[in-house]
Amino acid sequence: MKRLAMLVGLLASLPGGLAQAWPVMVYNDAQLVNKAETIIVGHVKSGSLTVTQYPGDYISHAVLLVTTFLKGESARPEIPIILSYGLLPVPVRLKDKIASVDDILKQFPHALHEKGPILLFEDNPSEGCSLISGDIYQNQIWLLRKNKVSVSQVPSGLPGTFRDVFVSGQGVWGPQDVQPLSKESKYKALLK
């Protein structure tokens, strides 16, 4: 009990205290495959990526072009998705210039509509920004899950299609929900 009290005291004394901590759960591949409702190989449709900014926050949305379904099925070759808070799309030309998320956000939306690769970074207040994907315009494995929020929790200003997606549609809700194609055969084996 004494150790726990010391740990809580130490964490509370850090700059920003506990309010700035961002718990990140790490899952193994079997857990990721199990919790995903849909797993596809696909990529973001050119021109569909949008970042909606709010005071002190942002949310991204895009349309995935499906190449292959590994888990789940859909009659649609395109799936509108939400990229959860904390998953920051960054043009390759800016990836080495991430001093802060605010610096990147100041350059939206212009930077996202440039030609060229876009990478996903995890924007974690307690750990900084870290790269989690390759170019989202190239095929990758997307582990999609439904958001579990009420309509009252939908951010204002979110376009209609993505408002519906935010409440009941699929999205990428964590940094491990985008994986490289090199894991495709492993995921197929886990799904058998």
Partners of residue 39 on adjacent β-strands: 71, 143
Contacts of 9 (CB under 8 A, 6+ apart): none
Where residue 43 falls among pLDDT bands split at 50, 70, 90? very high
Statement: residue 32 has pLDDT above 70: yes
pTM for the structure as a whole: 0.75
Whole-number pLDDT of residue 8: 34
Q: What is the 3-state secondary structure (H, E, C) of 165-180?
A: HHHHCEEECCHHHEEC
Give the residue with greater pLDDT, 78 vs 148.
Answer: 78
Whole-number pLDDT of residue 172: 86
The CA distances from residue 3 to 18, 20, 176, in Å, are 17, 22, 31
Tokens linked to 123: 């924007």
Average pLDDT over residues 152-161: 58
Give the residue with greater pLDDT, 174 vs 9.
Answer: 174
Q: What is the mean pLDDT of the chain?
A: 74
Where residue 143 falls among pLDDT bands split at 50, 70, 90? very high
Taken in order of first residue, the domains within the chain and their CATH numbers are: 23-191 (2.40.50.120)
pLDDT tens digit sequence for 50-79: 877 766 667 788 899 999 999 987 767 998
Whole-number pLDDT of residue 24: 62
Tokens linked to 178: 């985008």
3-state secondary structure of 75: coil
Statement: residue 21 has pLDDT above 50: no
